[in-house]
Amino acid sequence: MNIGTGKGPSLPEGLPSGSASHGESSAKEVDGGLFSGVGPESQSVELNIGERTLSDDWKPLNEHDSFSFSYCRSAPGVLGWEVGFASSKDNDDLLPQASVKTRELFGGVRYEFSPLGVLRPYLGAGLSYSEGELSVTGFSTKEGSAGLYAHGGVLVDVSEEFYVGLDLRTLTMTDADFSAVDLDLDHSQVGFVIGFSF
């Protein structure tokens, strides 16, 4: 009997010394290997403030101030998703009683490329439902249409939680009938992004 020798129990025969720690290391390698180069998935909220341009059929009410609010789940190198709400409006200086407003609900996929330092390029696309409202001197009419949107840009990390960026966006394949006038709600847009990750 080896009593008081200070030695721990011996490993069973055939099990090399250090196998337990090697197993732990292997598990870490598997976990890290699958997502190698991919940052942890994050949640974020974004405010987008910009300029939206409708088709020429809406002139002189086609240059809109716009804003949107969105919620995103994404990680670099992984296909994520996004949902949001957007709104825009334009008033004619010569016809102050005339205005066009748009409201939009959207949702789709989002892909972030591998970061380039503090820069994070990304793309997104999906389905949208837009509603337009035309008002002229007390008269108002609303119409809505489904469509497809796509956008992309570059985000700049200011801190671990806060970032800013530039976003380019387009909406297409909408079709709306405003008082027997066939118009669409298609647009192009450029916006400044303010975002928070958590």
CATH code at position 106:
2.40.160.20
Identify whether 75 is part of a domain: yes
What six digits make up the tokens of 112? 């972030």
Predicted local distance difference test score (pLDDT) of residue 42:
84
**Residue 1 located in a structural domain:** no
d(CA 50, CA 168): 10
Torsion of the alpha carbons at 158, 41, 198 and 152, rounded to the nearest 10: 50
pLDDT by residue for the chain (198 residues), tens only, comes to 444 444 555 545 544 444 444 343 333 333 333 333 344 578 999 999 999 999 998 888 999 999 999 999 998 999 999 999 999 999 877 776 789 999 999 999 999 999 999 999 999 999 999 999 988 887 888 999 999 999 999 999 999 999 999 999 999 999 887 766 778 999 999 999 999 999
Quote the pLDDT of residue 23: 40
The Cβ of residue 177 has, within 10 Å, a number of other Cβ atoms equal to 11
Q: For residue 17, is it within any domain? A: no
Length of the chain: 198
Count how many domains the chain has: 1
Residue 164 lies in a domain: yes
Residue 158 lies in a domain: yes
pLDDT for 62 equals 93
The torsion defined by the Cα of 112, 69, 131 and 99, in degrees rounded to 10, comes to -120
- Show Cβ contacts of residue 89 under 8 Å, excluding neighbours closer than 6 positions: 64, 65, 99, 100, 101, 102
In a domain, 30, yes or no: no
Report which of 103, 93, 104 is spatially closest to residue 134, judged by C-alpha positions. Answer: 103
Q: What is the pLDDT of residue 40?
A: 56
pLDDT tens for 83-103 read 999 999 998 777 767 899 999
Expressed as residue numbers, the domain containing 70 is 42-197
The pLDDT assigned to 180 comes to 64
C-alpha–C-alpha distance, residues 176 and 58, integer Å: 12
Answer yes or no: is 140 within a domain. yes
pLDDT score for 122:
97
End-to-end CA distance of the chain: 58
Residue 114 in any domain: the answer is: yes
